[in-house]
Structures are given as C-alpha cells and as structure tokens.
Amino acid sequence: MSGIVLVTGASGKTGRRCIAHLVKQGVRVRALVRRDEAARELRDAGVEEACIGDMFDTKVIATALAGVAQVLHICPPMHPSEHELACAMIDGSKRAGVRRFVMWSVLHPHAAVPHHQRKQRAEADLIESGLSFTILQPGRYMQHLETIWGAVRTQGLHSFPFSTRSRFSLAHLDDLAAAATRVLTEDGHENAIYELAGPEALTQQDCARILSEALGRTVNAQAASIDEAVAKGRAAGLPEWRIETLAIMNRHYDAHGLEGNPNVLRWLLGREPKTFREYVQEMGSV
C-alpha cells in the first residue's frame, strides 16, 4: 500500500508509537494534532506533514484528508464524543476518496463500559459506510504499568482499582503498533476485524510475582479503592465525565477482567508477542 497515511490522535502515546513504526517502514505520515508543539515534535520524529486543528471542525478534517490514501483513526482516550468524532472522520474520508479506513477500537467493544460501547457504535458506522476498513481491537496495554511504576519501585506495590484476581490479556504497545503497521503497509486486510490480545491472561497477583522475580525484591498486589481513585481524579482536576467513565470501567474490570485470544496478534507479527516478563525487563533499567 502506497500513499499518505493520516494518523489522528497522533500526539498520544498510541499515535506516537504507531507513527514511529510507520516511519521506520518508510511510510509517508501526516499527523492530525491540536497543538503547534506536538506538530513540531512529530515532524522531528519523521512525520512528513502535520495538520493542526480540532477534529470537530469539518474544514480541518477536509484539509487533513486531502490526498490521503489511508486513515489510522485513534480517538482521544474515553472522549465522550468519540462516536461523533468517528462519524465525522468516516464521512470526511468518503468525500476525500480514502482507500481504507483503519480504526483503533478496543478488545470486547460490546462490554458494558461507556467508551467500549462508543467504539462499538463507531465500528458499526464504519462497517456500514461503504469504505474499505480494518478494525483493530487491542487489549489492555502493558504500558499501564508506567502509571504505577513509582509505587512498584519505592513501595513494592502493584495496585490498580480492580480485583487482584481479574485477568487481562496484556499487550505490549510496540506489538500493537507493529500489527497496525503491517495492516497499513500491505494488501489483504480489507474488511477485517482483528482482536489484538496479549500472549497470556494475567492477574495483578501474576504481575506482582513477575515483578518480584525480575526486580529481585518483593512486590505485592493490592486492589486499590475505586472511591479513592475517584477522589484522586477530582483532586487532579480530571473532568467529571472521565472520572465517571474510569469508575464504571474499573468496576467492570473488577468483575470480569478483559481477556482475549492472542492468535491474530501472533499471526500479524509473525512471531510470539512480547510477554509481560520481557516488558518488565525493559522497565527494570528505568
């Protein structure tokens, strides 16, 4: 597949990682971002063009999509208008003659979690749009460990606000970005929905054990209080919609976890996906 790839949500951790893999493969990338500073950073990282503006602005969308062959649409995490944003990008892509629309969705979009279900609605609209599409459904990132790395190192504590026995098919963000890059750089992935789950279903207890072995000191697993997490979110100034979404998500994860099957990710990578132990070994030097 040749031509320009537009990456939306390009300045986030997912967008940046995908862009790094695409640029490494020689893909011409245009990034859609909101800030001049992010545009400069991404140009330095190899992005050919940066379009600055709001995804809700139809003129910005039209400018960003002009001459684009493919779109990798990554919505800002848990955005309350994610469905509307996706529809605007899908409609704009149809008008611009985009060849294929790749949507970064989520593992189990049918789950009773607001941002999962917004993604499910967006998936349905894309499928019915008439565009050639590929939908990627990634599991929970191993990189979420970075948000609690300080507590792991200083307190020996692995603690998220859900049960220590809930299972998650944790996926390495580099593997997910590599899978997306393969989809965007070859034919044969049209009108496909790919579940991208990590190689093993792990609990917080499993993660704490692996961390203990890798770091050479005891790390304990503990279910943080959802109410305390909500209070911290408010103290940090997070918008109420995001706090509410996080609370619902963590209650769902507490009850059900988020497990998937690694076969598709393994096939797209052409190798075994990275394990949590390998990721921890990467983090050990940080």
Tokens of 80: 């309350």
Residue 55 confidence (pLDDT): 87
The 10s digit of each residue's pLDDT in 45-77 is 999 999 999 988 999 999 999 999 999 999 988
Phi, psi angle pair for 110, to nearest 5°? -80, -10
Taking each helix axis as running N to C, give the angle between helix 276-283 and helix 204-215, from 0 to 180 degrees, rounded to the nearest 10.
50
Within 10 Å of residue 244's Cβ, how many Cβ atoms? 16
Residue 67 lies in a domain: yes
Within 8 A by CB and 6+ apart from 137, the residues are 105, 106, 107, 108, 109, 193, 194, 195, 196, 260
Residue 152 lies in a domain: no
pLDDT over 70, % of the chain: 99
Residue 213 lies in a domain: no
Residue 285 confidence (pLDDT): 55
The 10s digit of each residue's pLDDT in 105-132 is 999 999 999 999 999 999 999 999 999 9
Which range of residues forms the domain containing residue 46?
Answer: 4-141+171-197+260-269
Into how many domains does the chain fold?
A: 1
For residue 151, pLDDT beyond 70: yes
Residue 94 lies in a domain: yes
The 10s digit of each residue's pLDDT in 189-212 is 999 999 999 999 999 999 999 999
Residue 92 lies in a domain: yes
Residue 280 lies in a domain: no
Give the span between the Cα atoms of 168 and 162, in whole angstroms.
Answer: 11
Residue 281 lies in a domain: no
Residue 107 lies in a domain: yes
